Chains A and B, each alone.
Chain A
């Protein structure tokens, strides 16, 4: 009988036992990882020295088209914060497993009124709403919008590092002042008498802030340029008395630029969107953009 009771008790103990996880997953390291150059710049300005800021996108790669491998995704997963531009810019982030509460999509968090892109790759069926890449994500080109993104990021940084809130707030104000100066520099460019054409819809937010009128026509800098966009470009030239200035993301093929100038009087200037790294380059790139634009506008007007 004693044996029976013992067996019964042992079986009961086994039956009532419940396996529990023996190891916990370490949640994150102390690195802030960004998804694009401009937002990495903002993170660097706000939290550089307090936390490590990394931009895993290889220099020279387009952050919107980059596809991280598993190691890069694992790095992002381990981040203290994942700082993205948002507005659909980092397309890889839509299909990667990321920790939701540590992802800051700054353009979305800032509540920026997004501009619907006119560049629609394709639709399915007759439903117009079935388009992708419909929102223009180039918010950082506008200093005003980037300031709003910086404020949204500062909120997240303050929540993640509450003991550093005062330092982050002070840095935020300094950054906002710098961006206000950049905005002023853009505004000082006298664009009267010039009609802007963007070779890629990267400048809509900048144009909105500055009150510029801009037309987006898909023109690959490396060429060749097909008949349809050339036709559109000629349409713009013929419809407007102003000198047409094409804004290129990168240096256009010299032959194309020369031919456009010679045949149609269309001027060209490179206004880099500064999408990638290095991390701290944003203000320098934008200052150079302002200088180039000022010179190009002056040249276009024949001054």
Chain B
């Protein structure tokens, strides 16, 4: 190391607070646009990858974004429902080959985590397997996504109360106790954040099914509106079970025809593009329903994101230019403060180049530290990109 560089380093080390502050400011200005691009790219990639896993989603008419994000990312957006019979009809229609149609219902939460009530084939389609316990098989059984299990701090054998949708409506179905029978292996997808259950549990949460004592045995006058030879009319005051047990499991019953039960979407896997087109046309032509291709919906969303990214890039460039100007200002002030010191160097015979190295070497040191810090910041943010995206 030359004597001049040693002099520069010693000076930077002597004023280490100033050096580090300058380097940190510069590193943030350098790293933010690059890291931002990584995060946005990961966001786009994750969205597209997830969208590509489902060719067609059929649901109630309304926002296509809500339908896709409710069905694929378990966001509580979609309000409307269609009937379970639609899923059966899609499966039964074999005119274009065998179609897999997975009904799902996403409208409830349990301690803030989305409850995804799905047809059993969902797990095979997504290659989800239980790391402990098993998949849900019956009423109120749930298997937790890996991240959801971590956040909830629950495992096999624990209980999880569902959240009430409204606290103001006393006639709304009460909270139901869900039984954790499994925790799923981490998949690196939104499935890690959901509480999975069987569809019948969703109808229990909706209040369409419930369990209570045999109607014939209920004697409380406030619970019985009337009796006839073959029927007992019960009032809404009949206490219903909030927890399914071996003793009361047989008392749970549906108050609707199976085909009329509500679902929020059907994930459809047609055997060909032609089959997908026919199905989409059929449901888009029918009032009250829609069929969307998640890939196209995500493309539409991403085009907005790309436009936003251009704005963020411009802001980042402005931030970088401002930071560079500030550092230049600080450097010029530093040279002015060190004017006597530099003149002494010149007086004792240092060349003009040597004086310049001593004066501007500090900038070089700050730049090198800033670049190193920026590299680490970008790497850390890139590593956390998936987590950051999953939190969006």
Please list the residues of chain A having a beta carbon within 8 angstroms of any beta carbon in chain B.
4-5, 7-8, 11-12, 14-16, 18-25, 27, 65, 67, 70, 73-74, 77, 88, 91, 94-102, 105, 108-109, 118-126, 130-135, 155, 159, 218, 228-229, 232
Contact = CB atoms under 8 A, between A and B. Distances in A.
Contacts of A88: 257-258
A67 B215 contact: no
Contacts of A132: 253-255
A94 B198 CA distance: 10
Given A11-B382, A15-B383, A70 B238 contact: no
A95 B249 CA distance: 10
Contacts, number: 162
A14 B385 CA distance: 11
Interface in B323-351: none
B198 A108 contact: no
Task: Specify the main secondary structure of chain B where it touches its partner.
Answer: mixed
Contact of B127 (A23, A95, A121): A23
B19 interface: no
B356 interface: no
B231 to A, nearest CB: 5
B315 interface: no
B101 A125 contact: no
A273 B229 CA distance: 25
Contacts of B92: 109
Given A4-B372, A97-B138, A155-B94, A120 B129 contact: no
Given A21-B187, A126-B233, A101 B379 contact: no
A67 B249 contact: yes
Interface in B186-213: 186-188, 198-200, 209
A229 B229 CA distance: 8
Interface residues of B, number: 70
A125 B383 contact: no
Interface in B355-392: 372, 375-376, 378-386
Nearest to B119: A100
A27 B135 CA distance: 13
A66 to B, nearest CB: 10
Lowest 9 A-B CB distances belong to which pairs? A15-B383, A11-B379, A122-B215, A15-B382, A95-B200, A21-B127, A19-B188, A97-B198, A97-B120
Given A19-B187, A96-B198, A100-B119, A124 B235 contact: yes
A16 B375 CA distance: 15
A122 B372 contact: no
Contacts of A108: 88, 259
B103 interface: yes
Contacts of A218: 230
29 contacts: A7-B379, A12-B383, A15-B379, A19-B186, A19-B188, A21-B187, A23-B127, A23-B185, A25-B127, A67-B250, A73-B138, A74-B137, A88-B257, A95-B139, A97-B136, A100-B91, A100-B102, A101-B101, A118-B230, A121-B232, A122-B216, A122-B232, A122-B233, A124-B236, A132-B254, A133-B253, A159-B98, A218-B230, A228-B229
A57 B191 CA distance: 34
Contact of A125 (B187, B225, B254): B225
Contacts of A77: 120, 137
B5 to A, nearest CB: 15
Interface of B: 38, 42, 87-88, 91-92, 94, 98-103, 119-121, 123-124, 126-129, 134-139, 141, 185-188, 198-200, 209, 215-216, 225, 229-236, 238, 249-250, 252-255, 257-259, 372, 375-376, 378-386
A14 B87 CA distance: 41
A70 B138 contact: yes
A70 to B, nearest CB: 5
Given A99-B119, A121-B231, A232-B229, A25 B129 contact: yes
Interface centre among A21, A123, A232 (most CB of B within 10 A): A21
A93 B12 CA distance: 76
A119 B229 CA distance: 10
Contacts of A7: 375-376, 379
Interface centre among B101, B129, B233 (most CB of A within 10 A): B233
Contacts of A122: 215-216, 231-234
A16 B382 contact: yes
A288 B258 CA distance: 34
A120 B229 CA distance: 10
B257 A95 contact: no
B129 to A, nearest CB: 6
Nearest to A114: B257
Contacts of B103: 100
Given A18-B188, A95-B138, A8 B376 contact: yes
A135 B233 CA distance: 18
B119 to A, nearest CB: 5
Interface centre among A23, A97, A134 (most CB of B within 10 A): A97
